[in-house]
Structure 1
Amino acid sequence: RLMSQALRKLTGAISKSKTVLIFTNQLRQKIGVMFGNPETTPGGLALKFYSSVRLDIRRIEVLKDGDSVIGSRHRVRVVKNKVAPPLRVAELDIMNEEGISKTGGLLDVAVDMALMEKKGSFFNYDGKPLAQGREGAKMALRDDKKLAEEIERRIREAVAAGKKVPKELGEEKEE
């Protein structure tokens, strides 16, 4: 009840001041659930009701360089969205030193839009080998700023020309 009362009072003020309020929450397991999703968020239903956008962020992979952990790969799923189409999925790398990896996102979109080719663990750009492995390709794009800018420019041109970015990045394409 406390959360519901607080959110009722905050909603108007947040809307008028054009602010973003971000809540983070944890998942708990419901005991004895035979059907449906056994996961729930503590704190009642008020937060689910009043939120405009809800994201489900899960770690899907730990990124390592040898034995040391350098980051993690996450899948972000839009659970609820009142302001845009819901149920979208994206994957992103969160690196310990830099935060969300821009080069990782650039690499994913370039591969999904067929601007870059991935065969096995090798990445090719314009028919020439770029690097082996995802981390190697990210390192190559980080080192060669002109190449990264060219790929970003080509992605922006393709989107401006009306080419659709795949709905869910990382999904296998049906041919």
Structure 2
Amino acid sequence: NLIVSQPDTGEQALEITEALVRSGAIDVIVVDSVAALVPKAEIDGEMGDSHVGLQARLMSQALRKLAGVISKSSTVCIFINQLREKVGIMFGNPETTPGGRALKFYASVRLDVRKIETLRNGTDIVGSKTRVKVVKNKVAPPFKEAEFDIIYGGGISREGCILDLAVNMDLVEKSGAWFSYKGQRIGQGRDNTRLFLKANPLIRDELDAKIRSLITAGGAVEADVSEDEGREEDILGLDL
């Protein structure tokens, strides 16, 4: 079940989050977004009033309370944030996130999620290719990277992931725009091949099983590596 709450202030939102975590009745809580958590003083004030550091103090206080409560519960709390750019930065990563530094320190896992490509079917835009970097991880090795398709109205495309891995593992042959499996052409163009796998679950599941078998056996999977991968000073500046 999905429960949607739209509180009036940032304090209200974080109090609701704490209450839900304490209740133990919710498995996953998503706060969307940290940048939109407006302190009550800012809402009650006038346009143009200065409220330096108010949101950062709010987040720091809330996370001190939430950290202990979350650690004793089975609830996963996800904070979505937005990117901003620092003014006058000539060197290093100019990107930063609202809400201060507390969230970066308290988070167990931090993900940098970016759209890298628009997916089209002819002239129609059907989705986007997304890259996720694990920029912090307290429970597993960090700095891993994954790419997947998000199809509008359909969510994350399982078939797109299977196709990419199958090509990388030479289970599916790619020649020009054509994709072939067991010597038979299964589609022209990536999107058409993805739709073929969606329409033929037996072939999709067969490829899925082969991929899992190869990974379990230690088969190598190629990954596209961006130019700035490993530049820790850039990566750690993000908070998504």
Give the TM-score normalised by the residue count of structure 2: 0.67
State the match for 1:34 in structure 2.
90
Shift, 1:67, TM fit = 2.9
The one-letter code matched in structure 2 to 1:96 is Y
The one-letter code matched in structure 2 to 1:60 is I
1:155 aligned to which of 208, 211, 218: 211
Matched, 1:123 2:179: yes
Q: Mind listing any 5+ residue stretches in structure 1 that lack a counterpart?
A: none
Q: Mind listing any 5+ residue stretches in structure 2 that lack a counterpart?
A: 1-56, 226-240
State the match for 2:77 in structure 1.
21
State the match for 2:66 in structure 1.
10
Give the secondary-structure state (helix, strand or coil) at the position aligned to 1:21: strand
Shift, 1:23, TM fit = 0.6
- Equivalences for residues 49-68 of structure 1 within 5 A: 49-68=105-124
**Residue-pair matches, total:** 170
State the match for 1:72 in structure 2.
128
Q: Which has the higher contact order (CA 8 A, sep 6+)?
A: 2
Give the secondary-structure state (helix, strand or coil) at the position aligned to 1:55: strand
Structure 2 CA distance for aligned equivalents of residues 129 and 68 of structure 1: 24
Structure 2 CA distance for aligned equivalents of residues 92 and 164 of structure 1: 18
Structure 2 CA distance for aligned equivalents of residues 53 and 118 of structure 1: 36
Post-superposition Cα deviations, 1:126-174, rounded to whole Å, max 9, x if no partner, equal 23222111101101101111111111111122223232444x3x45xxx
Structure 1 CA distance for aligned equivalents of residues 169 and 141 of structure 2: 21
Structure 1 CA distance for aligned equivalents of residues 89 and 218 of structure 2: 46
Structure 2 CA distance for aligned equivalents of residues 83 and 31 of structure 1: 34
Structure 2 CA distance for aligned equivalents of residues 82 and 32 of structure 1: 33
1:114 aligned to which of 154, 157, 170: 170
Structure 1 CA distance for aligned equivalents of residues 63 and 170 of structure 2: 45
Post-superposition Cα deviations, 1:44-87, rounded to whole Å, max 9, x if no partner, equal 00011111111111111111223322111111111111111111
Post-superposition Cα deviations, 1:74-127, rounded to whole Å, max 9, x if no partner, equal 111111111111111111110012100010011111112221122222212123
Post-superposition Cα deviations, 1:6-57, rounded to whole Å, max 9, x if no partner, equal 1111111111112110011100011100111000001100011111111111
The one-letter code matched in structure 2 to 1:75 is R
Structure 1 CA distance for aligned equivalents of residues 100 and 135 of structure 2: 17
Matched, 1:92 2:169: no
